[in-house]
Amino acid sequence: MIRLDLNSDRKTYYDILSVKKNASYDEIRTGYKLAALNSHPDKQKTSVDHKMFLDVQKAWEVLSDPQTRSKYDRELIASKLDSIPIADEINLSDAMIDKSSDDPEVLHPCRCGDCFAITFSELAEIGFRLDENGGLLDGKTLKNSDLENASITIPCSSCSLKINLIVSL
């Protein structure tokens, strides 16, 4: 099932102030001054622009305080995770293995025509070591031995769809 995120083009406070997500306080302050100048009601006539001015004030209020900023960052991450469209689920045992390169890949076709792909070394990094046929090596090799079932979200190489790769021991 595909869940569409209707708010995906919604601007974050970082967008509103035209600063990067990891911007320093000074960069945020500079971004705020510019944005405030450009959206000031004295310079604008329409209500849309007035809303812009209020957004800028709100963005500055939240991002200028480390506490509200970190709270906002967490909310941002949560809303991003929530809006990832999950196309499908597939078991590792049903996935294709592409052994043509030195670092083999687990592949699954995406409806856009491209593939969801994750390399064996990427899987090993998160604790799943595979043999050359895509079978899981001894569960004891897992970094997290409590893990019995894992669901790994893999993005398509071309489009924004994601797939959940289910790995069970």
Residues that bind Zn ion (CB under 5 A): 110, 112, 114, 156, 158-159, 161
Task: Name the residue nearer to Zn ion (CB basis): 95 or 110.
Answer: 110
Angle at 99 between CA 96 and CA 104, to 5 degrees: 85
Task: Name the residue nearer to Zn ion (CB basis): 19 or 107.
Answer: 107
In order, the DSSP letters of 51-119 are HHHHHHHHHHHHHTSHHHHHHHHHHHHHHHHHH--EEEEEEGGGSEEE-SSSS-EEEEE-TTSSEEEEE
Nearest to 128 by CA among 108, 117, 144: 144
Q: Find the shortest distance in angstroms from Cβ 162 to Zn ion.
A: 9
Task: Name the residue nearer to Zn ion (CB basis): 145 or 158.
Answer: 158
Q: Find the shortest distance in angstroms from Cβ 157 to Zn ion.
A: 7
What percent helix, strand, coil does the chain show, rounded to 5?
Answer: 40, 20, 40
Task: Name the residue nearer to Zn ion (CB basis): 60 or 108.
Answer: 108
Q: Find the shortest distance in angstroms from Cβ 84 to Zn ion.
A: 13
Q: Find the shortest distance in angstroms from Cβ 112 to Zn ion.
A: 3
Residue type, 137: L
